[in-house]
Structure 1
């Protein structure tokens, strides 16, 4: 049962928190099967689920009913670890778990619970809301026992705040920790889902998340052995490497007993490549996320609405009098969807033809039934039929979605934005680019959309001139309010926005140097559907991060790669550690850890590199919108 807010209405929190609210449950599980993995990633999911189960079951009270109150941004990630039914209290006969959110001031449960678990990240704003809720709970007759579970670990500042707000006295000791380091999203993709990691590193100066990063790699090494070849690019990457080295040294005796099965590890600091998260992705998955938002392997599709089933006891005549209620379809998206698996990484220009070939393939299978004669043939056909029917259903959904995406991409405004981005990247017509940005501000496009273009322009050109900065700042404040000034300040501190004190020489900017040295911009792509050149993911721009990773795999190119960073702030934070003489079973397996976030287009680009297998780890799967949004001040 969902808890009620103070006014009696069900609680909700947008897409992620509305898991059991108005939206219809997805037919297929959102939890990926994780089949055919390079390494067994399901092991990390099992360890996390077992740890959470053990923690919950260790609490025994006279009243076995348990309630869970979640940080809204943890609901989605947890759904990739355990099913919704996981939180139903054992031995109570309940069919629905008691679940609430750290969102509203007061919270009431529909059943009498004996214990309440608050599951939250150690954030001050959440602690303050949680304190208000706990005060309300303990004011009731016979209040339940209250436990706080910090994810991935508690911090001293949160303990001090709980003490200061007189809440610690109401909490069962000790404060609990759930080390949810890795969340498996796909066969080769793990995320820590730390949405503010980049902001914490670059604006707040808080690098505490790097401890969790190093600890997560230690867990990986405890199963697959010491990773012998480690490279790092960027400040936070070097810091994570140093913490890992210290941890590895302390546990080296035990780790040396395991034969390494992962050849390489590359730590990559998001700060080194701030361009790639700001460029519009042009793969099917990237555009899907751009228009409909993929959150924790799940997308809500309004135009695939399904009718709501008739309530029990509702008369047929009453049903006919009222219009049919419909709810949006919630579509799980991972490699378990065979159709999505085949088209997700393709440039959108090639998706139509691929969907057509899948249609023909399914038609051929259906046609086979007309030629079946032998009993074994019929049995084999009907064994395969459910899988084909599911694929047919998925195909129908993706054809509908692709049709809607095509309509969006054909709109004049979308095409003009893509052209402006490409002009910025190639250094053409800066005056026209500024004029387009001004037009976006005047018609009050979303502030994240506007700031994304300004930041892209600033990074590529190594800063805005003083007059450009002052003018755009004035226009932004006029259109969006004075709170935007604080957001601009955060963007400056993070290196996303820069004022140039001297005349801008675009051709000698750090980006121009990298663009030339790594062939980042392909001016004339003859075939944007050809995945041999990773620039296909942006129809002409190859993600700088992925080019650097690609080059770093070749030891002969590593030194020349480092020379490209001369004159930049990153040059002193590039290095490597090699452990010679170790027997490695899979030299071609490389773990890439993005510190500060990784985009879907970057994942597609890495998967396009042949003759090498990647496992992508990241602090957060990001897109241009949530990347910029994490930097904004919300008043």
Structure 2
């Protein structure tokens, strides 16, 4: 048993020995994240422990990952669960960027990120060697028996680069190359591998890991699908995304039981529901013995599922979040529950001189609910978390001073209790020190005049104003390109397009300032629906967003950011549209049908049946209120659970708003958030570039 913050986690050798904590607002179905973690870890260990070309148990392998994000996901999240991680006997609670924990049954001689080889400034330790000989030269002669590549099937460039590396190493016949796809290789990838001669090579094997959903927190499940919006909106090839999301829903239902009520918003949401029901029907018909039950599915551990297509609300990702976690992601970048920062940021006391870029030490710091302090401060507004951390520091200092004061004698029980609490005190002190330094970095950014001007520009656009002059000034100022594109897209989304003459002028300025390659970025933004040209002399005051802003009260200028009573605190007055839609859905759409007309796609409402039905049959049944039996007083009663699935990504602003609702006594559900990826505006736009 290990105490982590305010939580107690049971670490067991066998799955049957795991004792689950009681349900809470942030962990409404404790079995779900535990079951997914156990399944993912067993799959990964089973693959790494198996030698693809012999029965040897002592083979040495090099692990190669398509991206840094994939390495972090598999080795820090799956291999070593950060929520049960402790740092006993150490003076720090972060890891070196390239250090990982492995079981004794696995002999890993190193890890490499595949794309880093293309960077001229990468060190040999993180670059991909040209051949096995060069590896032996700078790895102290450590020989390799197996090279295992972990790749995503959606990124063709990863496969092509890995294939070139394999061909460069082919002289080393003793080395076996194992190419592993998560969750599975697509038909296109198999054709590429076949054309490059890898499927017939005796020392190359193609495998797959059916790991399609990862519990980043007890209330956040992610598919870690990077290019959802690009595939669906730009390339118009959403079939792989739809299938992956549908299969992940079926996997979740294997753990929590069939979800009785499903609603979806947007075209992708509808296709996910259709695919989910089709697979369910096919599996039912393929059984040897059919079930005799007839009628509605009885509620399991999750009472309802809402699927939201990201295209329903493209405005929210373009905005600047004002919560601690949202700003930390915006300023530093959070990837799979970890941030990579210069060690001098979180440990400036050891920095005596300014280091060159070559000597900078980048470390990986976990930011998750196992850190009780972070768990408490993560969703707080920027105006609150600074003073909160200050008060925590004063409380720790005071508790230590009270015990060590000379004027008061201590009995043995007090001394014993103090000594017992020293490890927890030390851990809390380390965590507090880290977050004070990170908060200083975040607040320094948020207090800059340009940051304040950006927020004011965003608010003006949200309220229906046109800010063309500001956009032109930012281009002339050579503002960071993707920060600028976020504002440009926000202007287009809020005003139903950008005036044609202004659009041409801005387009010309962008090319002259940032370069011709950004013409392709603009084209992709148009294809994704984030940017459009508006003909005519006047602003369209009847744009969909303007109508939604009024009908669902997206702007709340009077919200209290320190002691909030509304989700709009997450951005000092703007309530994320997707979360407002969810609030409205819970109350029912009977009198609010005009809102649905402003949203892309249509509302799909399905009650799952025994035996299962296809979508066309399910839609013939009458629509039910989401949580029809939850409008009673829930005081003192266990809330039902609602799962919200974002297809295309969710932002930390929306996560904070959903957690706020989940904890409110007046909201009838506890919420589990499921997403294809956690994103922000920069990540979304860069995925389209």
TM-score w.r.t. structure 1 length?
0.85
Aligned partners of 2:184 and 2:209 also within 8 Å? yes
Aligned partners of 2:340 and 2:364 also within 8 Å? yes
Aligned partners of 2:639 and 2:670 also within 8 Å? no
Aligned partners of 2:346 and 2:437 also within 8 Å? no
1:155 is aligned, of 172, 177, 186, to 186
Partner of 2:621: none
Partner of 2:457: 420
Partner of 1:287: 327
Q: Distance in 1 between matches of 2:184 and 2:534?
A: 41
Aligned partners of 2:183 and 2:212 also within 8 Å? yes
Q: Distance in 2 between matches of 1:527 and 1:135?
A: 61
Summarize the Cα distance change of 1:335–1:299 in structure 2 as closer, same or farther, 3 Å threshold.
same
Partner of 1:75: 71
Aligned partners of 1:285 and 1:344 also within 8 Å? yes
Moved more, 269-278 or 168-177: 168-177
Partner of 1:540: 573
Partner of 2:59: 64
Q: Distance in 2 between matches of 1:380 and 1:567?
A: 61
User: Within 5 Å, which residues of 2 pair with 1:478-497?
Assistant: 478-497=512-531
Q: Distance in 1 between matches of 2:446 and 2:157?
A: 38
Summarize the Cα distance change of 1:399–1:569 in structure 2 as closer, same or farther, 3 Å threshold.
closer
2:673 is aligned, of 598, 610, 616, to 616
Residue deviations 1:563-584 (CA, integer Å, cap 9, x gap)? 31325542xx311112489999
Q: Distance in 1 between matches of 2:574 and 2:426?
A: 38
Aligned partners of 2:322 and 2:570 also within 8 Å? yes
Moved more, 414-423 or 500-509: 500-509
Aligned partners of 1:260 and 1:583 also within 8 Å? no
Q: Provide the secondary structure at the position in 2 that maps to 1:56.
A: helix
Q: Provide the secondary structure at the position in 2 that maps to 1:376.
A: helix
Give yes or no for the alignment of 1:550 onto 2:587: no
Q: Distance in 1 between matches of 2:131 and 2:594?
A: 58
Aligned partners of 2:260 and 2:298 also within 8 Å? no
Q: Provide the secondary structure at the position in 2 that maps to 1:179.
A: coil
Q: Provide the secondary structure at the position in 2 that maps to 1:400.
A: helix
Q: Provide the secondary structure at the position in 1 that maps to 2:452.
A: helix
Q: Distance in 2 between matches of 1:352 and 1:52?
A: 40
Q: Provide the secondary structure at the position in 2 that maps to 1:462.
A: coil
TM-aligned CA deviation for residue 276 of structure 1 = 0.1
Q: Distance in 1 between matches of 2:131 and 2:292?
A: 47
User: Within 5 Å, which residues of 2 pair with 1:79-478?
Assistant: 79-83=76-80, 90=105, 97-103=109-115, 104=117, 106-108=130-132, 109-110=135-136, 111-122=142-153, 123-140=155-172, 142-170=173-201, 175-207=206-238, 208-251=240-283, 260-302=300-342, 303-304=344-345, 306=347, 327-369=361-403, 370=405, 373-428=410-465, 430=466, 433-478=467-512
Residue deviations 1:54-107 (CA, integer Å, cap 9, x gap)? 22333252571222211113112112111365657837xx5x533223233735
Give yes or no for the alignment of 1:38 onto 2:72: no
Summarize the Cα distance change of 1:547–1:242 in structure 2 as closer, same or farther, 3 Å threshold.
same
TM-aligned CA deviation for residue 327 of structure 1 = 3.1
Summarize the Cα distance change of 1:395–1:57 in structure 2 as closer, same or farther, 3 Å threshold.
closer
How many positions carry a matched residue from both structures? 580
TM-aligned CA deviation for residue 361 of structure 1 = 3.0
Moved more, 34-43 or 394-403: 34-43
5+ residue gaps, structure 2, are 10-19, 81-98, 118-127, 137-141, 285-289, 611-627, 631-636
Q: Distance in 2 between matches of 1:305 and 1:255?
A: 61
Q: Provide the secondary structure at the position in 2 that maps to 1:268.
A: strand
TM-aligned CA deviation for residue 184 of structure 1 = 1.6
Aligned partners of 2:148 and 2:178 also within 8 Å? yes
TM-score w.r.t. structure 2 length?
0.78
Aligned partners of 2:51 and 2:59 also within 8 Å? no
Aligned partners of 1:115 and 1:147 also within 8 Å? yes
Give yes or no for the alignment of 1:575 onto 2:567: no
Q: Distance in 2 between matches of 1:379 and 1:251?
A: 60
Moved more, 395-404 or 581-590: 581-590
Q: Provide the secondary structure at the position in 2 that maps to 1:614.
A: strand
TM-aligned CA deviation for residue 456 of structure 1 = 0.2
5+ residue gaps, structure 1, are 1-27, 310-318
Aligned partners of 2:381 and 2:562 also within 8 Å? yes
